[in-house]
Structure 1
Amino acid sequence: MWCIAPKEDAGFVCQMEAVLDVYKRPFDAEYPVVCMDETTKQCTREVQKPIPASPGQSERYDGEYERNGVAHLMVFYTPLESRRTVRIADNHASGEWAEGVRDLVENQYPHAKKITLVMDNLSTHSGASLYRTFEPAVAHALMQKLEFVFTPKHGSWLNMAECEFSVLARQCLDRRIADVPTLTKEIAAWQTHRNENAKPADWRFTTDDARIKLKRLYPKVSCC
């Protein structure tokens, strides 16, 4: 779903064009572009045992279910490599984000000179979260390897990681999953299959397109 900002929003178009500039960059293993997003999944247990499928009849489920906790999902997606890592936790605290970023820097891209991280401007998505979680030397070292680029408010459609969550929802999460261990196993299988088979992203919406199709968002400037 596209959430469009009010008319003539200079802040929106400034951040939008910053993201679109990042998406124009060619692939460079030393300077990867990674998109990050978060969502949740409600785990639910069946109250009545499902009736297995039979000839001429699909499997049937009862409408009643039992809530069994909420899992917090965080994805780090490198569109030009078609590579994604989904982390699963029981909360969305700043420490969880910080641990994900540390894994990204130290384990996924240990040889990168600079990682550009595209994400929304949530309060936990900041260098402060790194300093709240790690010793100053560790937090500082991580910050030296990172460039933050934030999508504008009402502009989540600009984050390619959101597209990955949409695919995950359709291919893996569109059913009842009883508990977090089962969810973790299912997502791990999806992640492996998609990393091995999905093609790199082909983002085609450019700044030139934005200035035409979203012209109403650009402030009207009087030339002297």
Structure 2
Amino acid sequence: MKKTWCISTLDSRFIAQMEQVLWVYALPYDPAYPVICFDERPCFLIGERVDAMAMQSGQVRREHYAYEKLGSCALLAAIEPLSGKRLAQVHAHRTKREYALFCQALAEQYPQAVKLRLVQDNLNTHNPSAFYEHLPAVDAFALAQRFEMIYTPKCASWLNMIEIEFSALARGCLHQRIPTQEKLEREVLTLVAEREARGVKIDWQFSLETARHKLQRHYQHLNPDLYASQCRKT
């Protein structure tokens, strides 16, 4: 058994992108410019080799250790943290086509918004070029104008609030063995609808000021002469 993780390089590019994300998160709620967090994740389809034992009162569900791999699919999801509004789709693949379809659906959810501030990672499919590869140029341009793309730093998924929602979905339904894409879609969309109906929002605590304090030595490393002169003045 092993643990794996990815360590970010906290260079000037990382700091600049992180500060942009945190600044956007701190903006007051504005329905004309909603802040929306988006990402996608793979979901593996797992079937039973032996039927699970029927549940009895006072006992947990029992399932055989053996399972069957039945492929995978992709969950694309977005959340507006300040309103609790959500959108989720399940697709067989996660290419530029699925990204374009999702962004179309997302834009349709906000017909009155001037610009959707979309926080996402730097995956090569996450940009307006996807629109032009799957829509007429006029429609692709119009869709691109609806979005302001805001990218998290490389290897910094923790800065994207949709990961908090993914964690809740994993605990709520994705932890179990689900054999088909259709069933997984039903489970996910039902849970997403329930969480939206309950008005579940995200209270983000990591602010720009907190970042500058906790990561102070990384800021100092970017411009040591400046920090040295500031220390002499104080």
Q: Same fold (TM over 0.5)?
A: yes
* Deviation sequence 1:31-70 (CA, Å, 0-9, x none): 1111001101111111111111235543211111111120
Distance 1:108 1:133 in 2: 20
Q: Is the 8 A contact 2:84 2:200 kept in 1?
A: yes
Q: Is the 8 A contact 2:49 2:67 kept in 1?
A: yes
TM-score by length of 1: 0.94
Q: Is the 8 A contact 1:5 1:217 kept in 2?
A: no
Match of 1:220 in 2: 223
Q: Which is further off, 47-56 or 111-120? A: 47-56
Q: Is the 8 A contact 1:116 1:149 kept in 2?
A: yes
Number of equivalent positions: 222
SS at match of 1:67: strand
Trace 1:122-141 onto structure 2 (pairs within 5 A).
122-141=123-142
Q: Does 1:120 align with 2:143?
A: no
Q: Does 1:51 align with 2:50?
A: no
Match of 1:188 in 2: 189
| Cα distance change, pair 144–48 in 1 and its aligned pair in 2 (3 A) | same
Q: Is the 8 A contact 2:83 2:199 kept in 1?
A: no
Structure 1 residue runs of 4+, over 3 Å off?
1-4
Q: Which runs of 5+ in 1 are unaligned?
A: none
SS at match of 2:37: strand
SS at match of 1:18: helix
Match of 1:90 in 2: 92
Shift of 1:4: 4.6
SS at match of 2:174: coil
Q: Is the 8 A contact 1:19 1:151 kept in 2?
A: yes
SS at match of 1:137: helix
Q: Which runs of 5+ in 2 are unaligned?
A: 230-234
Shift of 1:216: 3.0
Structure showing greater relative contact order (alpha-carbon pairs closer than 8 Å, 6 or more residues apart): 1
Match of 2:154 in 1: 153
- What is the percentage of aligned positions where both structures have the same residue? 37
| Cα distance change, pair 137–56 in 1 and its aligned pair in 2 (3 A) | closer
Match of 1:210 in 2: 211
The one-letter amino acid of 2:148's match is: E
The one-letter amino acid of 2:194's match is: H
